[in-house]
Amino acid sequence: MENIAGKRSALTWAVHISVVLLVLLWVVPTFGLLVSSFRTGDQIVSSGWWRAFGTQEQQLNPIRIAGEEKEVDGRFVIEGNLFGNSKTVISLWGTSSREPTAYQPGDTADLGDGQTLTVQENGDFVLTSATSTKDTRLPRVFATASAPPEFTIQNYRNVIFSPLAGQSIGQAFLNTLTVAIPATIIPILIAAFAAYALAWMDFPGRALLIAAIVGLLVVPLQLALIPLLNLHNWAAMTINETFGLTGDRALSGKGYLGIWLAHTGFGLPLAIYLLRNYMVGLPRDIIENAKVDGATDFQIFTKIILPLSFPALASFAIFQFLWTWNDLLVALVFLGTGNDQQVLTGNLVNLLGSRGGDWEILAASAFVSIAVPLLVFFSMQRFLVRGLLAGSVK
């Protein structure tokens, strides 16, 4: 009875539960990052993102009394609102960091030297003093308050449009696009030709080339990075000396050309391996019939192989774009560290170092940086499994 057709195996439910858990592990932190990117710094510090949609009771940063002093009945009075007439509701308050909850709303605190302070539930305060307070430091109020949900897009404005300490990510976003798009297209173009040759063309040494490509898949990027940079600098210097290029016309070791070539070199082994395995699985009859009809290898490649290989091309494009978009090491080596040269990952590292306490800025920056990869992945993910599993089943 256990093997009756149509009966679900118990393992099926385990697979479904595992998939749901994996999706939640990925989606929940991303959603939390999105919510935090729209919150103010005080709210992020005082409570988790899951409490962002309800009224929160939190210990506010100390607020120093400020306002114009008036003389009333022989006493000097300062009146105002701690929060600028917002909807914040105070539950407890105090005048010392050691006793931040010493008073209830409406209580009057004796500050000594003839000074008293009264704070109401809505933040209204009255400070009275027997002498003028113009030349004295006014007291601070430590308030525990219930604040309504507050969301803002100012974080994204600061990140994209306003240079924070010279580190606006607007230019870094354009730099990353300039790196990622060509670094994805170039290896696909080269690898497609190479994969077709290795799959359907007979020539001496083809097996050795395939073995070499498989071996290159395990070469660490860090191992080849410095030799590749030295080779790039030597080539730029040789070209400058050969053609007499100087000044602005001279080629530099730092630039987009170098990083495009580096990403192309590191991405080609996987691209060729993936595309070659896919093309080998295509029906041989189609190619043989095309040759009988007089089609050349180039015509077969462009009119038959490429259209049929689109799932594999899209699969590699997803991987390559994500790698180049999230890259930091290659960008630092081949592009530079200046504000006008940095990619998003480098910019976010600097932002974390100089403004580590501004979590709202970091959340907005991180979400801006992952928005494009998410768009690319979800728009092309239907081709991912088709491209990776093609040829696995005959």
Answer yes or no: is 3 within a domain: no
Same domain, 220 and 92: no
pLDDT tens digit sequence for 70-120:
888 888 888 888 887 667 788 888 888 888 888 888 899 888 888 899 998
Answer yes or no: is 153 within a domain: no
Same domain, 357 and 346: yes
Answer yes or no: is 5 within a domain: no
pLDDT-derived band of residue 4, with 50, 70 and 90 as boundaries? low
Q: Please answer whether residues 116 and 127 qualify as being in contact, where contact means their C-beta atoms are separated by less than 8 angstroms.
A: yes
The span from the CA of 36 to the CA of 53, in Å, is: 11
Element (H, E) at 47: none
Same domain, 138 and 47: no
pLDDT at 305 over 80: yes
pLDDT at 389 over 70: no
Contacting residues for 254 by C-beta, under 8 A, at least 6 apart: 334, 335, 336, 341
pLDDT at 140 over 60: yes
Same domain, 85 and 212: no
The model's pTM is 0.67
Share of the chain above pLDDT 90, in %: 6
Answer yes or no: is 305 within a domain: yes
pLDDT tens digit sequence for 6-20:
556 667 888 888 889
Question: What domain range includes position 244?
Answer: 158-389
Domain boundary among 87, 120, 147: 147
With b for 16 or more beta-carbon neighbours within 10 A and e for fewer, the 238-273 pattern comes to eeeeeeeeeeeeebebbeeebbbbbbbebbbbbbbb
Q: Which residue has the higher pLDDT, 352 or 207?
A: 207
Same domain, 300 and 365: yes
Contacting residues for 143 by C-beta, under 8 A, at least 6 apart: 59, 60, 63, 82, 90, 92, 93, 100, 119, 123
pLDDT for residue 165: 46
pLDDT for residue 217: 84
Q: What are the backbone angles phi and psi of residue 111, rounded to the nearest 5°?
A: -90, 0
pLDDT for residue 1: 46
Residue with structure tokens 């409490």?
51
pLDDT tens digit sequence for 108-137:
988 888 889 999 888 889 989 888 888 788
Answer yes or no: is 60 within a domain: yes
Count of structural domains within the chain: 3
Answer yes or no: is 1 within a domain: no
Same domain, 240 and 96: no
Answer yes or no: is 385 within a domain: yes
Same domain, 114 and 75: yes
Answer yes or no: is 241 within a domain: yes
Q: Which residues pair with 91 in a beta bridge?
A: none
Q: Which residue has the higher pLDDT, 291 or 246?
A: 291
Same domain, 312 and 382: yes
State the average pLDDT for the chain. 80
Same domain, 81 and 137: yes
Same domain, 32 and 70: no
Same domain, 48 and 69: no
pLDDT at 163 over 70: no
The span from the CA of 13 to the CA of 129, in Å, is: 73
Same domain, 254 and 205: yes
Q: Which DSSP category does 320 fall into? A: H
Return the CATH number at 259: 1.10.3720.10
